[in-house]
Every structure is written in structure tokens, then in C-alpha cells.
DNA sequence: TGCCATGTTAAACT
DNA sequence: GAGTTTAACATGGC
């Protein structure tokens, strides 16, 4: 019997992409690891013969839950994975997991082993794509900030776990908020729009990523002109996070 | 060829 | 010690 070979040669980083990875590997839940190897900091022998009890994500992180440990995988900027075939021997194979039927190969990612349960390490309510996501908690965290620009808040994984630079750029443009506006200066309705906008765009990102149409739906990220007023976008590394931001000085407001 | 980019951490500074 | 800035890592496209 032949099983599906999915080619996933693409950037991994933001939450929606991890959501897809979780779905693509969900069938390994309950399966026993037959063989494990790679060059990551992993106790490979200790994994062999162990059952995958659950597969979870939190934002940009992917977890294989075993009885006595959690394998945490973060793809950083250049990580990738392949299912069922080790077809990228040119890349650094951090972890290979072989099951009786099928396998997963994780390349150039950061791997850690955690003890305890996920809730010991992460606030599940902060994951923008989780059923546990709680916008009221996000609002409370945002209101506690002082002198923090929204561009930084949108990259704060403790508030918006899974949000990355694409989501940041797109949400700010779509909600017409200037990246350097301070969180504390946003009117209440704008703050709510920002919080809801992150989740809405994350699920649009997911749908477009599946369709292979993500880039054609970008309105700000990597764009040259504002489609509302036709003026050129500003491009600047903003905030303490110092990440590139495209924005329209004319259409996105500072509220100061 | 050099630069840039969907990320994060740790070392090196004020 | 604090709060910063810089460097490091790693890959591919332009």
C-alpha cells in the first residue's frame, strides 16, 4: 500500500503553517516510533519503541507528546519538514522519526526536550489559532503595556502566539493602524479590532496557504503601493523587534 | 555576488 | 544589574 507523499518545501514560521503540519501528521498519534535518528540534541535511543500520545502546537512550536517527555520543535526562519521520504540530504536532518508506516523528517529546526505537561510551559489561551484562544486575556495583557508600539505587541508570542511578521504587516494595514502607534493610545474599538483582526487573518492565511494563494492575497507585505490611496508604502524596521514593516503613512493612523 | 527574509536566543555593549 | 544592541544560526531567491 502506498501512502501520501506531501512535499512541503516552504517557509515554516508562522502559526497557520504549523497548523497545517499538525494536520498532516495527526495520523501518527497513537503510533510507535520504530527508529529515530538525526543530528539534533535528542535522546534518539530513548524515543525508539515509544508511542506518540499526542501531537500539539502552540503558536510557531510543534510538540510530540510522549509518556515521559515532550519533544519541542521550532522551525525558526529556515526550518522545514518532509513526510515519508528523506529527500533533502543536503539539509541538516535534525530529527527523523520512522513508524511502521510512514515517517517524518525535520530539517534545520531547533529541538528541545521538555518535562511535565504543555500547560506547565505555555499559556494555551495565547495561541491565536487554538480553541483555547481568549481575546479577553489578550486585551488584558495589551492594556498592561506601556510605551509599546503595536508592531512589537503583534510579535509578542506571550500575547499573540503564532503571529509573525506577515501577520503583523497585514493586520496593521487591514485595520488601518500605524505600526508605531502605541498600544495605550488606541481607542477601545481599535484595540478590539486589532485583536480580532489577528485571528481573522490567521485563518485566512491558513485557507490561502492551503490553496497556494497566500502571496496573491498580500495587501501590504512585500507590496509597493497602497491599493487604497495609490501612494507608495513606507518600508522601515520598526519597534524594538526591529522587523521590516510596510505601511501607508496616509491610511494607517497613529491615534496620538 | 551581496543582500534580504515568514525567527529566536545569547553574547556583548552601555 | 538593568536595559539596550549585535551577532549568530541557517537557507534560498533575487
Give tens-digit pLDDT for A80-122.
999 999 989 999 999 999 999 999 999 999 999 999 999 999 9
pLDDT over 90 (residue A2): no
Section A9-32 average pLDDT: 90
Q: What is the percent of chain A with per-residue pLDDT over 90, rounded to a whole number?
A: 93
Task: Return mean pLDDT, chain A.
Answer: 93
| Alpha carbon distance A83, A97 (integer Å) | 10
pLDDT value of position A201: 98
Cα–Cα distance for residue pair A210/A136, rounded to 1 Å: 29
CA A150 to C1' C11, in angstroms, rounded, equals 30
Contact A229, A248 (CB under 8 A): yes
Range A210-213, long-range pairs (CB < 8 A, 24+ positions): A210/A20
Q: Determine the Cα–Cα distance for residues A81 and A163; give it in Å rounded to an integer.
A: 20
Half-sphere exposure of A179 (CA within 13 A, CB side): 31
- What cell was used for A232? 507608495
Which nucleotide does the CA of A147 lie closest to, via C1'? C3
A98 Cβ neighbours under 8 A, 6+ residues apart: A33, A34, A35, A36
pLDDT of residue A4: 40
Q: Nearest to residue A240, comparing CAs of A137, A133, A145?
A: A145
- The spacing between the Cα labelled CA in A115 and the C1' in C11, in angstroms, equals 31
Q: Given a cut of 50, is residue A3 above it in pLDDT?
A: no
- Is pLDDT of A193 > 90? yes
**Which pLDDT belongs to residue A13?**
86
Q: Residues A58-84: pLDDT tens digits? A: 999 999 999 999 999 999 999 999 999
Per-residue model confidence as pLDDT tens digits over A152-174: 999 999 999 999 999 999 999 99
A60 touches strand B (CB under 7 A): yes
Closest nucleotide to A155's CA, by C1' atom? B7
Q: What share of chain A is helix, strand, coil (3-state, %, to 5)?
A: 30, 25, 45
pTM of the model: 0.94
The predicted structure's pLDDT at residue A10: 60
Q: Is the pLDDT of residue A148 over 50?
A: yes
Enter the DSSP assignment of A51: B
Helix count (H) and strand count (E) of chain A? Answer: 7, 10
Determine if strand B comes within 7 Å of the CB of A76: yes
Amino acid at each position: 500500500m502506498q501512502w501520501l507523499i506531501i512535499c512541503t518545501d516552504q517557509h515554516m514560521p508562522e502559526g497557520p503553517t504549523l497548523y497545517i503540519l499538525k494536520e498532516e501528521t495527526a495520523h501518527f498519534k497513537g503510533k510507535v516510533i520504530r527508529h529515530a535518528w538525526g543530528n539534533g540534541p535528542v535522546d534518539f535511543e530513548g524515543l525508539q519503541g515509544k508511542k506518540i500520545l499526542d501531537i500539539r502546537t502552540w503558536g510557531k512550536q510543534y510538540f510530540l507528546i510522549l509518556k515521559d517527555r515532550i519533544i519541542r520543535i521550532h522551525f525558526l526562519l529556515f526550518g522545514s519538514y518532509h513526510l515519508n521520504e528523506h529527500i533533502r540530504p543536503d539539509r541538516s536532518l535534525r530529527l527523523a522519526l520512522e513508524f511502521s508506516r510512514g515517517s517524518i523528517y525535520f530539517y534545520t529546526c531547533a529541538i528541545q526536550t521538555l518535562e511535565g505537561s504543555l500547560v506547565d510551559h505555555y499559556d494555551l489561551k495565547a495561541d491565536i489559532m487554538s480553541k483555547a484562544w481568549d481575546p479577553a486575556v489578550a486585551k488584558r495583557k495589551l492594556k498592561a503595556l506601556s510605551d509599546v508600539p503595536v508592531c512589537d505587541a503583534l510579535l509578542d508570542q506571550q500575547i499573540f502566539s503564532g503571529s509573525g511578521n506577515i501577520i503583523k504587516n497585514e493586520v496593521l494595514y487591514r485595520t488601518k493602524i500605524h505600526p508605531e502607534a502605541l498600544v495605550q493610545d488606541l481607542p477601545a474599538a481599535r484595540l478590539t479590532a486589532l485583536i480580532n483582526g489577528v485571528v481573522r487573518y490567521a485563518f485566512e492565511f491558513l485557507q490561502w496557504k492551503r490553496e497556494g494563494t497566500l502571496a496573491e492575497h498580500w495587501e501590504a507585505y512585500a507590496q509597493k503601493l497602497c491599493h487604497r490611496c495609490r501612494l507608495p508604502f513606507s518600508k522601515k524596521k520598526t519597534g524594538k523587534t526591529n522587523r521590516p514593516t510596510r505601511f501607508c503613512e496616509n491610511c494607517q493612523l497613529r491615534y496620538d
